[in-house]
């Protein structure tokens, strides 16, 4: 299976590319391709997996990948489009009860939009034969901001393993201080820091590991380390550094 094209990636993510932040459709800082029709808001779609569903075996099993991508991620895409459509209808109505839906739809927008963005990054953060350590600018940045690679991995894995309930372990670029930080958002959208650009995202919702790892989340977190595509993370850092607050 081929990697999604830049057009597929960009068309699906539009302006929701940062965690709580905002970038214009002209900005391809996260590799997002704008739609050709600038007058029409983009629709979100489910990009194909950038590899076969069994490519990450034995670390991430085929059945989990198929369910996770084809059912869970697809549901976030649908929820995101539904929220946007619903908001357009609500704000255009002259009935107070329609406008009152904005609160709930904004919840749905944040939940499904963040879920969509993070899953796209998560799939691309992994590859068959991944793992090891990064090199180049990413390695230097990790050493500067976390001390060394081993210290970073213990911080990242601990944060991901101890997320209460459902959530993510995330390595992000924080553009205000121009440094890397680790976040551990609950669900997809709570406990984030605005403006940060996710570079490496580890899904620790139970749907991401329960078929193979059951309650052993820490084992799953360790397995993720063996499939990380550090080249993808390094490219995301390079693009994120070009963003300014």
Residues 158 and 221: their CA atoms lie apart, in Å, by 9
HEC profile of the chain: CCCCCHHHHHHHHCCCCCCCCCCCCCCCCCCCCCCCCCCCCCCCCCCCCCCCCCCCCCCCCHHHHHHHHHHHHHHHHHHHHHHHHHHHHHHCCCCHHHHCCHHHHHHHHHHHHHHHHHHHHHHHCECCCCCCCCCHHHHHHHHHHHCCHHHHHHHHHHHHHCCCCCEEEEEEEECCCCEEEEECCECCCECCCCCCEEEEEEECCHHHCHHHHCCCHHHHHHHHCCCECHHHHHHHHHHHHCCCC
Q: Residues 205, 235, 238, 241: which binds Mn ion (CB under 5 A)? A: 205
70 or 147: whose CB is closer to Mn ion?
70
CB of 54 to Mn ion, least distance (A): 18
In the complex, the smallest distance separating the C-beta of residue 58 from Mn ion, rounded to whole angstroms, is: 20
Which residue in the shown chain puts its C-beta closest to Mn ion?
Answer: 203
Interface mask toward Mn ion for 90-129; x: CB under 5 A: ----------------------------------------
Q: Determine if 203 is a binding residue for Mn ion (CB under 5 A).
A: yes
- The one segment of 55-63, 104-112, 168-176, 206-214 that binds Mn ion by CB under 5 A: 206-214
**Shortest Å distance, C-beta 209 to Mn ion:** 10
CB of 168 to Mn ion, least distance (A): 9
CB of 149 to Mn ion, least distance (A): 26
Nearer to Mn ion, 208 or 223 (CB): 208
Please tell me whether residue 210 binds Mn ion under the rule CB under 5 A: no
Stretch of 72-80, 92-100, 125-133, 222-230 contacting Mn ion, by CB under 5 A: 72-80
213 counts as binding Mn ion under rule CB under 5 A: no
Which among 25-33, 40-48, 71-79, 225-233 is the span making contact with Mn ion, rule CB under 5 A? Answer: 71-79
Which residues are bridge partners to 126 per DSSP?
Answer: 228
Q: Which residues of 232-242 are buried (b: 16+ CB within 10 A; e: fewer)?
A: bbbbbbebbee
CB of 182 to Mn ion, least distance (A): 19
Q: Name the site residues for Mn ion (rule: CB under 5 A).
A: 72, 203, 205, 208
């Amino acid at each position: 299976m081929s990697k999604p094209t830049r057009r597929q990636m960009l068309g699906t993510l539009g302006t929701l590319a940062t965690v709580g932040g905002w970038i214009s459709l002209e900005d391809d800082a996260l590799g997002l391709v704008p739609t050709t029709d600038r007058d029409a808001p983009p629709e979100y779609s489910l990009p194909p997996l950038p590899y076969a569903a069994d490519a990450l075996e034995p670390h991430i099993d085929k059945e989990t990948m198929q369910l996770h991508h084809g059912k869970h991620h697809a549901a976030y895409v649908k929820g995101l489009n539904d929220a946007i459509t619903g908001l357009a209808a609500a704000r255009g109505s002259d009935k107070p009860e329609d406008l009152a839906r904005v609160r709930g739809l904004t919840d749905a927008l944040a939940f499904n939009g963040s879920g969509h963005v993070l899953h796209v990054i998560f799939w691309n953060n992994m590859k068959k034969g991944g793992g090891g350590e990064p090199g180049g600018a990413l390695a230097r940045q990790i050493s500067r901001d976390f001390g060394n690679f081993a210290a970073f991995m213990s911080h990242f894995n601990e944060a991901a393993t101890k997320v209460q309930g459902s959530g993510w372990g995330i390595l992000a670029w924080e553009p205000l201080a121009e440094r890397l930080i680790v976040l551990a958002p609950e669900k997809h959208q709570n406990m984030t820091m605005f403006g940060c650009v996710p570079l490496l995202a580890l899904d620790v919702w139970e749907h991401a590991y329960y078929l193979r790892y059951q309650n052993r989340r820490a084992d799953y977190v360790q397995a993720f380390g063996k499939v990380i595509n550090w080249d993808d993370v390094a490219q995301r850092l390079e693009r994120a550094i070009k963003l300014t607050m």
